[in-house]
């Protein structure tokens, strides 16, 4: 069996040599991918082709529905082709017409795959360039039979071809598929713990991927379950935005006998095409850090109209990153535990920002809050960097469950697998590292054992929550009624020009009559000003103008107090000195203030009017998961003597090189 994926993909991609000159690099994939799918379907159908053709003859006069059932039965697959043609039998003339007829002879589901590839247009372009016959012959000679390339490795071939296509057209390959080592790990984590149930005879489970790509997660889920229980059945569901990836996913599911009407084309966030479906397992690798501006209206409308009855009730992240929208979507797809259903599990791959982006009260924080307060987050696994084809950034697997075992309830397991990688013999794009089978097994074992170790730590869900307190300090103003610079600033203010000229004159005259150059009390300043103005009334906006230009905060000054309202007599807060403190959930906020704040600013107080909209308590609740902080290990700096020795060695090497140059 052919397992050298790179070699097989290179053999197929070598067709590009025929296209060079007549086609742009960005067009190669749109020709090579559908021909690869066609050749794969042809090879899968080859063993039963004679039976199908015989059945075509005997069913000519039958109704279409009965005819289709008999042809599918003769074929032994979920699709068939009723034409006697193959790529090797298209002839040397009228190749385009023959190829079109051959493709149209596929059953409806298979035929639609080529429509999504826009295969007709590719055939016409190849004919216009007089290359169709050569390309057809090239593919007719590639052995893509299941005996030569099983379904798993065929999936890898498709993904390698897409990666090359993306590179040649400057697209983002990682948006279309996920490396198989990451797929295998995520799938294993989600299925872990369910082995006993999945091993029962006749078991039926459903798996869903809202960003299906080429179907890697769906295929891996099927393979995992088949290894565990060959008699089990996994119903696959998915939705994909990219037409080429969708077509490959659909072809892959068709070959594997899945109900391909469950695979949908479209944007999951704006147009959920499986709105009433709920699933046992959900797996996804949504695009990292991609904005959702294009679907903002639909998402916001759903959130406003449906709230928690829809998908986005907990909150909306910033428009610049839609990762958490996919997570909310998956949570909405979970089956609730009942007598008939155990519940659901989710595995989703996200970059680092969903762990901590957004402060208390933000959309991101509220989403994390919902997940943690509903005890949905089971585990987080930090992956090595350089694991993906299109980016080297740090990534994390989130494992969520709504049916945690008793020992896991109210807890979250963090696994730091960032160092558990092996180098790749040859880099693929940005992917320079991979997970060996041993590393994968160890990570799954850490998850299953649920015990602490140097790279595995267990925390209560509340450990990631805090209350953001607003800390106020009193307004203490010193006034400088005769400071020349301040007076110049006052008279240059636009607000000053709006005052009546008589009032302007009276104020300036009065300020010149003050006996003190500096007053440490707002009340004293106002009383003296009012007294000196006599019968001239001082409007509130005018006094506010004086305060903004003639006063400044001074710790030696008297505290300014409110003169009206329910706060009358209470200290006024200086907004310029306002600060926030994050207090861990469960800790007494006043004890925290006494310990952490008052030793530094004894006159500070908590603004008790700022309360959380959900629990009504003082302070806004926020959640973040500072993953790296929990695994940080202090590395002492090197000794200065060692650094000096290195510098001396480098200096000597430089001098030696210079000497060689001049000699």
Together in a domain, 191 and 153: no
CA distance 419 to 454: 12
Together in a domain, 184 and 252: yes
What is the residue-averaged pLDDT of the chain? 90
Query: HSE-up of 379 (CA within 13 Å, CB side)?
Result: 32
Q: How many domains does the chain have?
A: 3
- From first CA to last CA, the distance across the chain in angstroms is 61
Quick one: pLDDT band at residue 399, thresholds 50, 70, 90? Answer: very high
Together in a domain, 96 and 232: no
CA distance 239 to 208: 8
pLDDT in tens, 83-108: 999 999 998 889 999 999 999 999 99
The closest alpha carbon to 81, from 93, 73, 72, belongs to 72
The closest alpha carbon to 413, from 461, 374, 356, belongs to 461
pLDDT in tens, 565-603: 777 889 999 999 999 999 999 999 999 999 999 999 999
Phi/psi region, residue 361 (left: phi>0; alpha: psi -120 to 50; beta: rest), is left
Quick one: pLDDT band at residue 177, thresholds 50, 70, 90? Answer: low
Reported in sequence order, the residue ranges of 79-193 that DSSP labels E, i.e. its strands, are: none
The pLDDT value given to residue 166: 66
Q: What is the mean pLDDT of residues 394-403?
A: 95
Quick one: pLDDT band at residue 174, thresholds 50, 70, 90? Answer: very low
Q: Angle at Cα 561 formed by Cα 556 and Cα 566, nearest 5°?
A: 160
Answer whether residue 549 is part of any domain: yes
CA distance 520 to 551: 10
Q: What is the mean pLDDT of residues 23-36?
A: 87
Q: What is the mean pLDDT of residues 385-395?
A: 82
Domain boundary among 553, 572, 590: 553
Q: What is the mean pLDDT of residues 174-191?
A: 81
pLDDT in tens, 346-367: 999 999 999 999 999 999 999 9
pTM of the model: 0.84
Pairing of strands 605-606, 465-472: antiparallel
CATH number at residue 260: 3.40.50.150
The pLDDT value given to residue 2: 42
Task: Confirm if 288 and 324 have CB atoms less than 8 A apart.
Answer: no
Answer whether residue 36 is part of any domain: yes
User: Higher model confidence: residue 194 or residue 185?
Assistant: 185
The pLDDT value given to residue 605: 96
Answer whether residue 393 is part of any domain: yes
pLDDT in tens, 434-490: 899 999 999 999 999 999 999 999 999 999 999 999 999 999 999 999 999 999 999
Q: What is the mean pLDDT of residues 119-147?
A: 93
CA distance 315 to 611: 18
Residue 173 clears pLDDT 60, i.e. is over it: no
Residue 315 clears pLDDT 90, i.e. is over it: yes
Q: How many CB atoms lie within 10 A of CB 376?
A: 22
Answer whether residue 484 is part of any domain: yes
CA distance 325 to 345: 17
Which structural domain, as residue segments, surrounds residue 517? 477-553
For the chain, percent of residues with pLDDT exceeding 90: 65
CA distance 298 to 294: 9
Together in a domain, 160 and 309: no
Determine what percent of the chain falls in helix, strand and coil, rounding each to the nearest 5. Answer: 50, 15, 35
Together in a domain, 165 and 215: no
The pLDDT value given to residue 1: 42
């Amino acid at each position: 069996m052919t397992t050298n994926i790179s070699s097989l993909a290179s053999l197929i991609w070598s067709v590009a040599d025929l296209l060079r000159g007549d086609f742009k690099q960005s067009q190669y994939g749109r020709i090579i991918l559908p021909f690869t799918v066609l050749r794969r379907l042809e090879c899968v159908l080859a063993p039963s082709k004679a039976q199908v053709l015989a059945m075509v003859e005997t069913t000519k006069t039958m109704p279409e529905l009965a005819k289709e059932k008999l042809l599918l039965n003769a074929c032994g697959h979920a699709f068939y082709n009723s034409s006697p043609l193959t790529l090797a039998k298209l002839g040397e003339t009228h190749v385009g017409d023959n190829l079109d007829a051959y493709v149209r002879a596929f059953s409806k589901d298979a035929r639609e795959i080529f429509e999504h590839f826009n295969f007709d247009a590719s055939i016409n372009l190849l004919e216009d360039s007089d290359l169709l016959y050569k390309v057809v012959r090239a593919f007719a000679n590639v052995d893509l039979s299941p005996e030569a390339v099983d379904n798993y490795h065929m999936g890898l071939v498709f993904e390698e071809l897409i990666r090359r296509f993306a590179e040649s057209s400057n697209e983002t390959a990682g948006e279309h598929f996920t490396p198989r080592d990451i797929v295998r790990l995520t799938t294993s984590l989600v299925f872990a713990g369910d082995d006993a149930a999945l091993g029962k005879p006749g078991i039926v489970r459903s798996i869903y991927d809202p960003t299906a790509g080429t179907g890697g997660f769906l295929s891996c889920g099927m393979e995992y379950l088949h290894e565990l229980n060959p008699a089990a059945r996994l119903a696959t569901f998915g939705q994909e935005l990219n037409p080429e990836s969708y077509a490959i996913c659909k072809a892959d599911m068709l070959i594997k006998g899945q109900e391909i009407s469950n695979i949908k084309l479209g944007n999951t966030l704006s147009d959920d095409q499986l709105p009433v479906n709920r699933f046992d397992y959900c797996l996804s690798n949504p695009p990292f850090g991609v904005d959702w501006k294009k679907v903002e209206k639909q998402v916001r409308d759903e959130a406003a109209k449906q709230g928690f009855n829809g998908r986005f009730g907990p909150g909306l992240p910033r428009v610049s990153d839609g990762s958490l929208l996919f997570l909310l979507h998956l949570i909405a797809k979970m089956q609730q535990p009942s007598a008939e259903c155990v519940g659901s599990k989710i595995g989703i791959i996200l970059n680092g920002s969903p762990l901590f982006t957004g402060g208390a009260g933000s959309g991101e924080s509220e989403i994390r809050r919902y997940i943690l307060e509903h005890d949905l987050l089971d585990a987080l696994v930090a992956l090595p960097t350089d694991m993906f084809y299109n980016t080297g950034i740090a990534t994390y697997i989130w494992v969520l469950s709504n049916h945690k075992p008793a020992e896991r309830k109210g807890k979250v397991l963090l696994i730091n697998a960032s160092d558990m990688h092996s180098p790749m013999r040859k880099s693929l794009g940005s992917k320079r590292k991979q997970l060996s089978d041993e590393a994968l097994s160890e990570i799954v074992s850490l998850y299953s054992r649920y015990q602490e170790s140097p790279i595995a730590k267990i925390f209560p869900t509340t450990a990631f929550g805090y209350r953001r307190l607003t800390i106020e300090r009193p307004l203490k103003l010193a006034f400088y009624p005769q400071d020349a610079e301040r007076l110049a600033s006052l008279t240059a203010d636009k607000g000053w020009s709006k005052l009546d000229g008589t009032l302007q004159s009276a104020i300036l005259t009065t300020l010149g009559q003050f006996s003190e150059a500096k007053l440490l009390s707002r009340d004293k300043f106002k009383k003296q000003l009012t007294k000196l103005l006599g019968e001239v009334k001082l409007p509130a906006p005018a006094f506010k103008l004086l305060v903004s230009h003639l006063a400044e905060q001074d710790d030696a000054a008297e505290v300014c107090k409110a003169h009206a309202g329910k706060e009358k007599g209470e200290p006024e807060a200086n907004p310029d000195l306002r600060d926030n403190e994050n207090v861990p959930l469960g800790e007494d906020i006043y004890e925290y203030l006494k310990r952490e704040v008052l030793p530094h600013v004894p006159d500070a107080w908590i603004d008790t009017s700022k309360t959380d909209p959900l629990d009504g308590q003082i302070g806004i609740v926020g959640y973040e998961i500072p993953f790296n902080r929990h695994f940080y290990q202090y590395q002492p700096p090197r000794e200065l003597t060692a650094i000096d020795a290195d510098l001396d060695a480098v200096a000597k090497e430089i001098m030696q090189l210079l000497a060689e140059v001049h000699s």
